[in-house]
């Protein structure tokens, strides 16, 4: 099985689906990673590990490290520039040309003959405009294959951080995306943690909110989540026979 994991920034792949992606790679799936930006507009660490001008190059290497930890087959960047965070923590999309972006995603699906595309959810997890844009481009790209041939069965389109009652991070849930696959990724937790540790410039961001809630400083391994969830957006799952991806992940169903 060929899987295309398309995300907006380095670290999104690990935070939202690192365990699932590692488990799939361990089952023999060829997981190809596509990242829209190099995260140039994000944080550089506390204290900073590099200058803002150097951040894109540093985060590129961090993502390469994470993809290797998760057993990924390849890594491609689309080359968009991640905008800096604005006043009052305002966030921005990385392009206004949704049609061209969707065409790039469709071309990458063809390049890797992807059976499954995994990307951000319909609410962008916490409403991040870049996540929303990435989701919309993925949806348009996948839909284009069905428009060409209504009888085709792939690529499937799955989204991350799907909604279920016991979701460990309600703030990151996509409420309109009910979970079709809920996973206990404990067997891959070490790999997911290793990938999180690759993203060194983001460590302070990873632990900030959880540390505040806990009333003490937490470490990156302490905040690594053991439960992950996926929603099948295209074609919608009717509760019938599981597809190939769901079958591969069934041993870890929560």
**Interval 98-111 mean pLDDT:** 98
**Interval 156-178 mean pLDDT:** 96
| Count of other CB atoms within 10 angstroms of residue 97 | 12
C-alpha 192/C-alpha 205 separation (Å) is 17
**Residue of 178, 210, 220 whose CA lies nearest to 14:** 220
Residue 112 C-alpha from the chain's centroid: 18
CA distances from 168 to 15, 225, 236 (A): 13, 7, 24
- Per-residue pLDDT tens over the stretch 105-157: 999 999 999 999 999 999 999 999 999 999 999 999 999 999 999 889 899 99
Q: Is the pLDDT of residue 215 over 90?
A: yes
Q: Is the pLDDT of residue 241 over 90?
A: no
Could you tell me what percent of the chain has a pLDDT over 90?
93
Q: Among 92-101, 126-135, 163-172, where is mean pLDDT lowest?
A: 163-172
* Structural domains counted in the chain: 1
* Model pLDDT, residue 61: 98
* Model pLDDT, residue 239: 82
**Interval 65-82 mean pLDDT:** 98
DSSP state at residue 253: B
* Model pLDDT, residue 211: 96
CATH of the domain at 81: 3.40.50.10320
| Enclosing domain of residue 39 | 2-252
């Amino acid at each position: 099985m060929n899987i295309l994991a398309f995300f907006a920034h380095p670290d999104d792949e690990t935070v939202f689906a690192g365990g699932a992606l590692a488990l799939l790679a361990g089952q023999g799936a060829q997981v190809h990673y596509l990242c829209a930006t190099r995260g140039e507009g994000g944080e550089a660490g506390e204290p900073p590990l590099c200058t803002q001008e150097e951040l894109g190059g540093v985060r590129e290497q961090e993502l390469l490290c994470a993809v290797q930890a998760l057993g990924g087959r390849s890594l491609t960047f689309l080359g968009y520039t991640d905008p800096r965070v604005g006043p009052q923590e305002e966030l921005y999309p990385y392009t206004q040309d949704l049609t061209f972006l969707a065409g790039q995603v469709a071309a990458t699906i063809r390049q890797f003959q992807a059976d499954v595309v995994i990307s951000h959810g319909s609410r962008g997890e916490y409403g991040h405009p870049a996540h929303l844009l990435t989701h919309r481009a993925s949806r348009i790209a996948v839909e284009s294959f069905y428009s060409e041939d209504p009888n085709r069965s792939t690529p499937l389109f799955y989204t991350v951080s799907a909604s279920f009652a016991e979701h460990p991070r309600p703030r990151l849930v996509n409420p309109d995306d009910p979970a079709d696959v809920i996973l206990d990724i404990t067997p891959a937790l070490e790999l997911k943690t290793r990938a999180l540790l690759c993203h060194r410039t983001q460590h302070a961001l990873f632990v900030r909110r959880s540390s505040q809630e806990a009333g003490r400083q937490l470490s990156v391994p302490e905040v690594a989540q053991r439960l992950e969830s996926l929603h099948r957006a295209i074609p919608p799952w009717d509760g019938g026979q599981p597809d190939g991806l769901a079958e591969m992940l069934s041993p870890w169903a929560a």
